[in-house]
Amino acid sequence: MARGVYIHIPFCHQICNYCDFNKFYFKNQPVDEYIEALGKEMALVTKKYPEHFRNIETIFLGGGTPTALSPEQLDKLLTYIHAYIPMSSVKEFTSEANPDELSAAKLQVLFDGGVNRLSMGVQSFDQGLLQKIGRTHSNEHVYETIALAKQHGFHNISIDLMYGLPGQTMAQWLDSLEKAFALDLPHFSAYSLIVEPKTIFYNQYAKGKLHLPTEDLEADMYDVLMQEMSLHGLQQYEISNFAKPGFHSEHNKIYWDNDEYAGFGAGAHGYLAGIRYSNHGPLKKYMDAVFAEELPIVHEHEVTQAEKREEQMFLGLRKTEGVMHSIYEEKFNEPMNAQYEQVIEKLESEGLLEHDERGIRLTRKGRFVGNEVFQQFLLED
């Protein structure tokens, strides 16, 4: 049974230098036809798996940039969503947004269409760093847009921040955190820069032209992040996410709980009926398939029981509550120690994991090397 729905809007008015998601410049793209194709894909998938869409808890509009669409295009998209996704059990409906694209008209369309959470890509409050990473908004855009969103009834608002950016200093990071806290928002996500292939930054890095903070400075930035979030009353509930009580991202928790979700759109990924799949990325291939009444899937993989166990561990350990013994045993009909006793003991002895009668979780030390810990749970067959 799917718990969530992800819908990919791959259009941007500006391409960020670090972004490796499936995206296209908005200008001269078949945006209206793409939205129609999304409606057709939703119709095809919900018809094929009707039983998987009975208890959808979350919907997430991601990208790209959903707010690159016009108010009319957003309204059409939301009409399709309401036509094909049962809304009665949906408790969280998020849209990603750029601070310089959210007009009053778009906010009204989103609010009227049931969106009740905004996730805004701020990244930094330093204008020089914003230019380096390819962002076009200003701090004034952020302040004005958040105020406007609150006026339109949006109170569940999150912003993304980034650290480890090219040339970023600790003073710049502290200043961004201070300005972020002044907004008095209930949720923050904060990510270290990862230089991904097929990005502008990757090309610069390969040429030796991308000057990044040292690993020690990046670790110090993460340490400061955790301290400051705690001091400002925000609970760290996942490696990169912090919230006031009651404002956790329910959609992202579906991923970390290793539960199923549907993915719609060009380049979208999903996990339905035990199968992980990805759609065609190129717009033409995606739309040609859908308009031919075919699912636009380019790759699918039936997840084995061993892979499900591994995913349960390395996804669940991203959460500060960790992996619960009761949930693991309910899913796999065996205790966690049946597969992972030696791994857990080793990581505990290194001070990277801790456990109690409820489950296992990363220690504070373990959060700094999370990926190295997760790799320990990828057992050889």
Domain that holds residue 240: 2-255
- List CB contacts of 29: < 8 A, sequence separation 6 or more: 11, 283
Could you read off the pLDDT of 90-124 as tens digits, one per residue? 999 999 999 999 999 999 999 999 999 999 999 99
Instruction: Kindly state the DSSP code that residue 88 receives in the 8-state scheme.
Output: T
Q: How many CB atoms lie within 10 A of CB 153?
A: 12
With vertex at residue 206, the alpha carbon angle to CA 201 and CA 212, rounded to the nearest 5 degrees, is 55
3-state secondary structure at position 87: coil
**From CA 263, how far away is CA 269, in angstroms rounded?**
5
Is residue 240 located within the same domain as residue 353? no
**From CA 129, how far away is CA 179, in angstroms rounded?**
15
By the 10 Å C-beta count (0-12 exposed, 13-18 middle, 19+ buried), 102 is classed as buried
Q: What number is the average pLDDT over the span 177-187?
A: 98
Q: What number is the average pLDDT over the span 273-295?
A: 97
Is residue 124 located within the same domain as residue 249? yes
- Tell me whether residue 179 is in a domain: yes
* pTM (predicted TM-score): 0.95
- Tell me whether residue 267 is in a domain: no
- Confidence check: pLDDT of 320 > 60: yes
3-state secondary structure at position 214: coil
3-state secondary structure at position 334: coil
- List CB contacts of 112: < 8 A, sequence separation 6 or more: none
Could you read off the pLDDT of 118-140 as tens digits, one per residue? 999 999 999 999 999 888 899 99
**From CA 74, how far away is CA 109, in angstroms rounded?**
7
Best CA proximity match to 37, nearest among 295, 237, 233, 252? 295
Is residue 309 located within the same domain as residue 209? no
Is residue 248 located within the same domain as residue 179? yes
- Tell me whether residue 300 is in a domain: no
Residue 8 tokens, joined = 């990919």
- Whose tokens are 């890095």? That residue is 205
- Tell me whether residue 31 is in a domain: yes
* Mean of pLDDT over the chain: 95
Q: Where residue 129 sits, what CATH number does that domain have?
A: 3.20.20.70
How many residues are given for the chain? 381
With vertex at residue 251, the alpha carbon angle to CA 233 and CA 148, rounded to the nearest 5 degrees, is 65
Q: What is the pLDDT of residue 380?
A: 59
Cite the DSSP H helix spans in the chain.
Answer: 31-48, 71-84, 104-112, 127-133, 139-151, 170-181, 200-206, 215-231, 250-256, 283-291, 305-316, 325-332, 337-349, 364-367, 370-375
Is residue 202 located within the same domain as residue 125? yes
CA distances from 67 to 28, 105, 138 (A): 17, 11, 17
Q: Of the given ranges (19-33, 38-52, 115-129, 331-345), which has the lowest mean pLDDT?
A: 19-33
As a whole number of Å, the end-to-end CA separation of the chain is 28
Q: Where residue 357 sits, what CATH number does that domain have?
A: 1.10.10.920
Instruction: Kindly state the DSSP code that residue 319 receives in the 8-state scheme.
Output: B
- Tell me whether residue 198 is in a domain: yes
- List CB contacts of 45: < 8 A, sequence separation 6 or more: 262, 264, 272, 295
